[in-house]
Structure 1
Amino acid sequence: MADDANRRTAPTRRDYMKYGGAVVGGGLLAGCTGQSDSGSTPEATPTESETSSETTTPEDSSYTASISPVGEVTFEAVPTNVMAYSPQYADMLVGLGHAESLNSLGFAEDYGTSLNYFLEEFDASIDTSGLTQLFSNGSFDKEVLYELDSDVHLQDPAWLSTFDGWSKEDTQEITEEVGPFFANRYSRQHAQPPKGWRDGYRYYTLWEISERVSQVFQEGERFAALKQEYEKLYSHIRTNLPPKADRPTVGLVSYWDGEFYPYRMNGPGFGKAHTRPMGVQDVFADSDRTYAENYGASYSFEGMLEADPDVILHIFAVTPWYDWDEIPQTLRDDPLGQKLTAIQNDRLYASGTSFQGPLTNLLQLEMTAKQLYPEQFGEWPGYEEGDSYPAFSKDEQLFDHARVADIVNGEL
């Protein structure tokens, strides 16, 4: 850029933050001290967690947090101006009490609408009116990151490298001149990172990522309180599942222009953190067409009728990206669609999103349990465009919604 030379002579965020550790796969912070994450481990059980090193002394108020593929980052103060691309990180900011620090989202209005469907249940929300939309014409301009002047960028630099016009040099420049990156994208479905980032890339659970972000914002107590509610909910659901023989067959799909795009219910990654615990019989478990593995694969109505699950969950249906007023009627009107068992038994449900942080995850677990197992967990009332999350009575809730709202509001 024309003014890069002048810009680099000005004070940088290195006056505010110091960086430690090497960035896995690219050495963006090569030459700094510390260690980065290495190796790859399977997802932890719901009660497992790891913590990054943290240093606080009377002489030095700095502290560290680490995440793959970034490595270890040292902060001099809690970030107050934060860029987040994906909605799960905005969810984390709300849950940790730092929603006001958010300055941007990849798709500000759409992500905000999707988040608020869930967040409003906890007397919280994302105000999109002042947020910068990052995505534009296949990428986003590096100049936007200079203008935002963020203390930290909650975006995976490995994923950032796949955007048009971005290179590791660009990422290094922003890291040095503006602020560090801190996120992990490919844990969503355990997909392979791009070349140059694969060596040592580590996959985390949703709650492990959330814990690492909580360390950035020094909100360990609030994170622990949220995780305690999650563990109680998870245990409640798993303990009350019916025997395997009595569980329904389920298809997790998205429907678009006459085709069904299947996902694996029990697949790895935080994108399935609300479906995997349900232990269902997944009709697409052995399919070679699931969306995570082959983005061009799909099933016609004939193929869907052959699979014929007892229940169909439509992923992302409670977001602005699908017209839920139209999809159920389209399936009921189709000569083959109306033969589907799930359609005949009124068991086509609008499901949630794979871009889930801790707050969304809690409600999506409750939602999915009710959709799949109404006899055990109570009926799900359905969804229409513009609905809010259902106002269940305390007896109908699978976890204490008011307690989570208190945590969000800092009443620990």
Structure 2
Amino acid sequence: MQYLDGSEVATLRWINERAVLRTLIDSDQDRSVTDIARACNLSRPTVEGALAQLIDDDWVIESPPRTSGNGAGRPAKRYEFADHSRVVVGVDLGPHNVVCSVATMRGEELATFRISDLDLTGGQDALDAMQDCLRIALGEAGTTAERIIALTVGLPAIVSSAGDIGLTVVVPAWQEFRLSQRIRDAFPTADVLFENDAKLATAAEHAWGSATGVTSAVNVIVGRRVAAGVISEGRLLRGTHGGAGEIGAFSATRWDGVYDRLAGDAGSIEETFANAAAGGADARQRLHHFILDLAQGVAALCLVIDPEVVVIGGGVAQLGDRLLRPLRDAVNELTLFPVELRASSLGHSAVARGGVALSRDHVARSVLRIT
């Protein structure tokens, strides 16, 4: 007979604990020991031992007892994932706005707060604004910074594989200030991650928005700058240097300055669309050139990725079919196959919610190690 040594027993025990934890995380209700044993194909004593350890580690809690109402004896104990014992956070930090979203470890939104119309081009100003915004969001969620297990910050920058700002032309002072390290220092008990803001918005669209359920997608965010992210084979595409999707850097797309050219002297794209609808010649010409310029980059991405869907986000998403119809026609003239365009459904919270998605996935993969 072959016996397991101490390390092998410990490894087997750990594997069983992960199986029990995975079962409870995937369940939409609490489970009895018998339920868990059946789902994991484990013995009852093994499940009870795993639950005891997971409760000690604060990953599992015993549910309040159910009352049968018929006096048929004590009901079976039931257990659930301690989803609210810690929180995950997503942050959208830009040169003018900051958005913080606080969620349970499964990603259920608890609170989101936004501060707008700021000058955050300086590193210290950006750090202070983020901390202020997060403090308010945590308060609205009824929790504290000490309970943050993972925090992901979206930046207008290419983020290196090491998780730091690799390149930014939008806020170069942040790199000089070593903003990423200062944010890590401000939250010493949390795992702090960084990602490009467009990529986080893309992750959010795939998790909860207009790209849910697809395996390939392009997400184009149109604001004061235009950026894009890519989902390929169900995963966020980063590339070797973190620059996948940065087609706006290719000058032939004419994405640089496209928003300001559309807005014109009025500074409002909504007014441009209204004037174009009313027959204004200048507004119609600017809108026509905007559609053609935007279509160049979208079509180029579609020819490379061949996505199931293209999501249009940012401030122009609210225009709906007034933008999507002519843009779809312009893109389809440049591609091999018809492209489905959808407006983003997440609005200003897309980047922060994408941060929640990456924080949630980080906890599952690197903390709980169940994926």
Relative to the length of structure 1, the TM-score reads 0.29
Relative to the length of structure 2, the TM-score reads 0.31
- Comparing both structures, which one devotes a greater share of its residues to helix? 2
Larger radius of gyration: 2
- Comparing both structures, which one devotes a greater share of its residues to strand? 2
Which structure is richer in relative contact order (CA contacts within 8 A, separation 6 or more)?
1
